[in-house]
Amino acid sequence: MAANGTLVIRGGRVIDPSQRLDRVADIVIDDGHVAAIDPPDGQLPLGDPTVVDARGLVVAPGLVDIHAHLRVPGFEYKEDLASGTRAAAAGGFTTVCAMPNTNPVIDSRSVVEYVLEQAAADAVVRVHVLAAISLGQAGEQLVEMGDLSDAGAIGFTDDGIPVASSKLMRHALEYATQLGRPISNHAEDRALTAGTAMHEGLTSMRLGLPGTPRQAEEIMLARDLLLAELTGGRYHCIHVTSGGSVDFIRRAKDRGANVTAEVSPHHLTLTDDLVAGRTEPVSAALPPYDANTKVAPPLREQRDCDALLEALRDGTIDCIATDHAPHALHDKDLEFAHAAVGFTGLETALPLVLTLVHDGRLDLVEAVRRLTVEPARCYDLPGGTLQPGQPADVTVFDPDEEFVVEPSLLLSKGKNTPLAGMPMHGVVHRTFVDGVEVFNRASLEPVGARAG
Amino acid sequence: MPLHRRHLIDVADFSRDEFDTVLDTAVSMRQVLDRPIRRVPTLRGKSIVNMFFEPSTRTRVSFELAGKSLSADVVNVAASGSSVEKGESLVDTFHTIQALGADMVIIRHACAGVPDLAARHLDCGVVNAGDGLRGHPSQALLDLFTVREHAGDLEGLKMVIVGDMLHSRVARSDIWAFARMGAHVYLSGPPTVLPPDFGNLLNGDGMVRVEYDLDRAIEGADVVMALRIQKERMAGGLLPDLREYARRWGINPARLRRADRQVLLMHPGPMNQGIEISSDVAYGEQSVITEQVTNGVAVRMAILYLLLTGAH
């Protein structure tokens, strides 16, 4: 399919919260841009357009993921830009933001450029890059934020390693004010997380696994939010997991701090008891101590999920981000204490969020908002919208279609999911970037490649 | 009655009947040990591999003697350090053991859940000889056995466990085992190593109470078990020092007099005498600490016998 032809996505339920749109319509795409959103089944434009039948399906702006570990450079055995962005497309994402905890760390212009060059060559969706806050993520010396920003870094984070020094965090926030780029931090107090492997609670006590209390996150997040107030710096809270953290974010926003926040699909929907294993449904049975349930920050309890959902609904938490963290089998098939942390997430994010929609706890339009325009806003990214004139990044999905999570069928190299065998709802049928189809479920293979 | 299990990984899901099956079998094993020739041919031709990734004398030797008393071939694999440090993954090690041929693997490891990992990768049976802070099922069974030998029924007995619950796999297994058998379990120790949530460990399925004041907890107790206090806990700020610990939670004659006159004093070993237990009570007439060790062999014989000959 050529980017410079005309494409009509016909008869789908078009949900675009950026323009308060939720109605059945045809989307006309011309030269890779949204040309018009027309009443359904009208006359086709001239020039023999390609027609995609989207009747019965949702047509939304391509999803935007502002938190993904694409593992390039250095950990290509876990993921590379080809596999990671194909996984993204299969999950309905048309934009992914790569985290800098790579080897070497993304802390210099040359590494940013390398990743963006790799993306230009291999990626099927848009790739943005975050850079580290400190050189080598060592928590000591600031990176050249100006140069990195000029090279394309959209924000700064030592994600994976908390910035322990309050002083360094203060200066990062201060220094970045000139650039307008957000700072984010893996907010976990390392004195409280040392040697731990899961959330501290009754389950960790039963399993004999040292646990991390919520306060490990809350203490550091509260500090960061106070420093954001002090400096006027722009701070983005990543992978928020606890109800207490939500209270701190709400307070900071009320006080006018320049703060945004994201939550992962798994922290919204899964709880720490998974570490003790799962027997129901049988197809998705998990043994106890399965490292595919290990993630940092850890899965918490239902009351946290409830508080996070409430915060997402009232806007305290702005958006959903996957924290896609692919790992190889040998990173995970280990003692629980030694296994790598994280879930492969790009291809299960939408179905996990849709569990909340199917339970009647989250409106579908709201879900789309938190996966499109809102994450884009957190980093001032284009995309997440179907406004006429904008690049035609579109995802077409069936929110009700059932499927069973089969790790071997995931396009990501990372098969590390606690959802193996789980029946879920929500299947992405097609994904378009710049009007080019980059994923088509029917062919079970991504097709085409993004132009340029 | 057979035990319908291939593995012994945790006692948390043991039923009363299952506990009784092991304990009843251990009675006959104990009789074997009291004979002049302490050996029966029951497990002849079976291979048992001891894989201890943590230093252990007591438990390893106990399993070894148990296996040999049943005429099994027992091999000790010298394994130390974590698999990560060694370069070979633990799963690779399991596959190697599998290929060498073993009917039963007995594992001790510093990480909770390793026996579960072993059971997923091995075709043979797995016995947990202590995994991280999670459990030590054979210790719980031998503790139950020792108390039952003296008290008969465990129903309604007052059991007090004293010490560092947080870092004790013995405590975790004993709490499940004794509570499931109907004992009233009281836990005492410093709050830093005995979170209040320990009282909710069983979710109401058995009686467990946390009582920080040991003098109150020990009142009228039928069984008192002192746990080993790890000296390295002081460094992490969990405890001020050993002197303070000994004064508040050490078992000494004065404290023991508050318990029932017939009280049984237990300790899973190895002991820090003068800290969690004073020397005079450790070898006093209420102490069953050395009996625990002897019973350990009988109970482990029962475990090996039931797992290796059972219908599962």
Q: Does B115 lie in the same domain as B249?
A: no
Contact A336 B113 (CB under 8 A): yes
Contact B120 A287 (CB under 8 A): yes
Contact B111 A338 (CB under 8 A): yes
Tokens matching residue A378:
């957190």
B148 located within any domain: yes
Q: What is the pLDDT of residue A3?
A: 54
Q: Which of B82, B135, B203 sits opposite A335 (nearest CB)?
A: B82
3-state helix, strand, coil in chain A (%, to 5): 35, 25, 40
User: What residues in chain A have their Cβ under 8 A from chain B's Cβ atoms?
Assistant: 201-202, 205-210, 287-289, 330, 333-338
Contact A153, A110 (CB under 8 A): no
B11 located within any domain: no
The pairing of beta strand A33-38 with beta strand A21-30: antiparallel
CA distance to partner chain B, nearest, from residue A291 (Å) = 10
Q: Which tops the pLDDT comparison, B4 or A96?
A: A96
Q: Cα separation of A98 and A157, whole Å? A: 11
pLDDT in tens, A39-50: 988 888 888 899
Q: Where are the alpha helices (DSSP H) in B194-241?
A: 214-217
Q: What is the mean pLDDT of residues A123-137?
A: 98
Contact B135 A208 (CB under 8 A): yes
Q: Which residue of A has its CA nearest to B135?
A: A208
Which residues contact residue B20 at a Cβ distance below 8 angstroms, ignoring those fewer than 6 apart? none
Contact B113 A209 (CB under 8 A): yes
Contact A333, A296 (CB under 8 A): no
Q: Which residue of B has its CA nearest to A330?
A: B89
Q: Cα separation of B245 and B252, whole Å? A: 12
Q: Which site among A196, A200, A327, A335 would you substitute to test the B interface, given the most B Cβ atoms closer than 10 Å to its Cβ?
A: A335
Would an 8 Å CB–CB cutoff place B116 in contact with chain A?
yes
As a whole number, the mean pLDDT across chain A is: 96
Helix H or strand E encompassing A131: strand A126-131
| Confidence tier at A241 by pLDDT (50, 70, 90) | very high
Q: At what angle do helices B58-69 and B137-151 cross, to 10 degrees?
A: 70
With b for 16 or more beta-carbon neighbours within 10 A and e for fewer, the A134-165 pattern comes to beebebeebbbbeebbebebbbbbbbbbbbee
Contact B112 A202 (CB under 8 A): no
Inter-CA distances, B259 with A382, B189, B217, Å = 73, 17, 9
Query: Per-residue pLDDT for B14 more than 90?
Result: yes
Q: What is the mean pLDDT of residues B169-191?
A: 97
The active-site residue out of A16, A323, A331, A398 is: A323
B116 located within any domain: yes
> CB neighbours (10 Å) of residue A406?
13
Cis peptide before B196 (omega within 30 of 0): no
B246-B251-B256 Cα angle (round to 5): 145
Q: What is the pLDDT of residue B311?
A: 61
CA distance to partner chain A, nearest, from residue B1 (Å) = 27
Q: Which of B82, B91, B112 sits opposite A208 (nearest CB)?
A: B112
Q: Which of B91, B113, B201 sits opposite A288 (nearest CB)?
A: B113
Q: Which residue of B has its CA nearest to A290?
A: B117
Contact B199, B187 (CB under 8 A): yes
Q: Cα separation of A119 and A82, whole Å? A: 8
Q: Which residue of A has its CA nearest to B202?
A: A206
Q: Name residue B106's beta-bridge partners.
A: B50, B127
Query: Per-residue pLDDT for A223 more than 90?
Result: yes
Tokens 């746990």 -> residue:
B227
> CB neighbours (10 Å) of residue A167?
10
**What are the phi and psi torsion angles at B100 (to 5°)?**
-70, -20
B8 located within any domain: no
Q: Does B126 lie in the same domain as B99?
A: yes
Q: Where are the domains of chain A?
A: 62-378
pLDDT in tens, A176-187: 999 999 999 999
Q: Cα separation of B173 and B14, whole Å? A: 11
Q: Does B300 lie in the same domain as B230?
A: no
Q: Does B122 lie in the same domain as B62?
A: yes
| Residue A418 DSSP label | T
Q: What is the pLDDT of residue B80?
A: 62
Contact A181, A149 (CB under 8 A): yes
Contact A335 B90 (CB under 8 A): yes
Contact A335 B133 (CB under 8 A): no
Q: Cα separation of B159 and B185, whole Å? A: 5
Contact A206 B201 (CB under 8 A): yes
Q: Which tops the pLDDT comparison, A444 or B18?
A: B18
Contact B117 A335 (CB under 8 A): yes
pLDDT in tens, A267-315: 999 999 999 999 999 999 999 999 999 999 999 999 999 999 999 999 9
Q: Cα separation of A186 and A200, whole Å? A: 18
**What are the phi and psi torsion angles at A58 (to 5°)?**
-95, 135
Q: What is the mean pLDDT of residues A403-426?
A: 98
Q: What is the mean pLDDT of residues A364-393?
A: 98
**What are the phi and psi torsion angles at A18 (to 5°)?**
-65, -25
Task: State the first-to-last Cα distance of chain A, in angstroms, to the nearest integer.
Answer: 15
| Confidence tier at A216 by pLDDT (50, 70, 90) | very high
3-state secondary structure at position B34: coil
B174 located within any domain: yes
Contact B187, B229 (CB under 8 A): no
Which sign does the torsion angle of CA A88, A91, A92, A93 carry? negative
Q: Name residue B158's beta-bridge partners.
A: B184
Q: Does B281 lie in the same domain as B188?
A: yes
| Confidence tier at B305 by pLDDT (50, 70, 90) | very high
Q: Cα separation of A193 and A214, whole Å? A: 10
Q: Does B148 lie in the same domain as B122?
A: no
Q: What is the mean pLDDT of residues B36-55?
A: 94
Contact A335 B109 (CB under 8 A): yes
Q: Which site among A192, A206, A214, A331 would you substitute to test the B interface, given the most B Cβ atoms closer than 10 Å to its Cβ?
A: A206
Contact A157, A184 (CB under 8 A): yes
Query: Per-residue pLDDT for A377 more than 80?
Result: yes
Q: Cα separation of B49 and A326, whole Å? A: 35
B3 located within any domain: no
Contact residues, chain B, for A209 at CB < 8 Å: 112-113, 132-134
Q: What is the pLDDT of residue B231?
A: 79
Q: Cα separation of A137 and A74, whole Å? A: 15
Q: What is the pLDDT of residue B297?
A: 97
Contact residues, chain B, for A289 at CB < 8 Å: 112-113, 116-117
Q: Cα separation of A283 and A402, whole Å? A: 14
Would an 8 Å CB–CB cutoff place B134 in contact with chain A?
yes
Inter-CA distances, B115 with A372, B130, B184, Å = 44, 9, 29
Contact residues, chain B, for A210 at CB < 8 Å: 133
Q: What is the pLDDT of residue B204?
A: 84
Q: What is the pLDDT of residue B64?
A: 97
Would an 8 Å CB–CB cutoff place B202 in contact with chain A?
no
Would an 8 Å CB–CB cutoff place B111 in contact with chain A?
yes
| Residue A274 DSSP label | G
Query: Per-residue pLDDT for B85 more than 60?
Result: no
Q: Which site among B134, B168, B176 would you substitute to test the A interface, given the most A Cβ atoms closer than 10 Å to its Cβ?
A: B134
Q: Does B186 lie in the same domain as B121?
A: no
Query: Per-residue pLDDT for A63 more than 70?
Result: yes
Q: What is the mean pLDDT of residues B9-21?
A: 96
Which residues contact residue B150 at a Cβ distance below 8 angstroms, ignoring those fewer than 6 apart? B264, B288
Q: What is the mean pLDDT of residues B178-201?
A: 96
Q: Does B235 lie in the same domain as B196?
A: yes
For chain A, give the number of residues.
452
Tell me, what CATH number does B60's domain have?
3.40.50.1370
Q: What is the pLDDT of residue B86?
A: 59
Q: Does B297 lie in the same domain as B251?
A: no
pLDDT in tens, A6-16: 999 999 999 99
Contact residues, chain B, for A201 at CB < 8 Å: 197
Q: Cα separation of A209 and A451, whole Å? A: 49
Which sign does the torsion angle of CA A436, A440, A442, A445 carry? positive
Q: What is the pLDDT of residue A449?
A: 45
Query: Per-residue pLDDT for A452 more than 80?
Result: no
Residue B32 sits in which domain range? 16-136+293-309
Identity of residue B304: L
Overall CATH class of domain A62-378: alpha beta
Would an 8 Å CB–CB cutoff place B279 in contact with chain A?
no
A247 is catalytic: no
| Confidence tier at A54 by pLDDT (50, 70, 90) | very high
Contact residues, chain A, for B233 at CB < 8 Å: none
Contact A210 B83 (CB under 8 A): no
Would an 8 Å CB–CB cutoff place B82 in contact with chain A?
yes
Contact residues, chain B, for A334 at CB < 8 Å: 83-84, 89-91, 117
Q: Which residue of B has its CA nearest to A275?
A: B113
**What are the phi and psi torsion angles at B304 (to 5°)?**
-65, -45
Query: Per-residue pLDDT for B82 more than 50?
Result: no
Q: What is the pLDDT of residue A450?
A: 44
B10 located within any domain: no
Identity of residue A436: V
Q: Does B297 lie in the same domain as B276?
A: no
Q: What is the pLDDT of residue A447?
A: 45
Contact residues, chain A, for B169 at CB < 8 Å: 208
With b for 16 or more beta-carbon neighbours within 10 A and e for fewer, the A292-312 pattern comes to bbbbbbbbbbeebbebbbebb
Q: Which site among A289, A292, A294, A330 would you substitute to test the B interface, given the most B Cβ atoms closer than 10 Å to its Cβ?
A: A289
For chains A and B, CB pairs below 8 A equal 68
As a whole number, the mean pLDDT across chain B is: 93
B71 located within any domain: yes
Q: Does B188 lie in the same domain as B167?
A: yes
| Residue B109 DSSP label | E
Q: Which of B113, B135, B197 sits opposite A202 (nearest CB)?
A: B197
Contact B84 A334 (CB under 8 A): yes
Query: Per-residue pLDDT for A171 more than 50?
Result: yes
| Confidence tier at A4 by pLDDT (50, 70, 90) | low
Q: Does B222 lie in the same domain as B156?
A: yes
Q: How many domains does chain B have?
A: 2
Contact A129, A154 (CB under 8 A): yes
Q: Cα separation of A82 and A417, whole Å? A: 20
Contact B113 A334 (CB under 8 A): no
- Secondary structure of chain B as H, E, C letters: CCCCCCCECCCCCCCHHHHHHHHHHHHHHHHHHCCCCCCCCCCCCCEEEEEECCCCCHHHHHHHHHHHHCCCEEEEEECCCCHHHHCCCHHHHHHHHHHHCCCEEEEEECCCCHHHHHHHHCCCEEEEEEECCCECHHHHHHHHHHHHHHHCCCCCCEEEEECCCCCCHHHHHHHHHHHHCCCEEEEECCHHHCCHHHHHCCCCCCEEEECCCHHHHCCCCCEEEECCCCHHHHCCCCCCCHHHHHHHHCECHHHHCCCCCCCEEECCCCCCECCCECHHHHCCCCECHHHHHHHHHHHHHHHHHHHHHCCC
pLDDT in tens, B246-301: 999 999 999 999 999 999 999 999 999 999 999 999 999 999 999 999 999 999 99
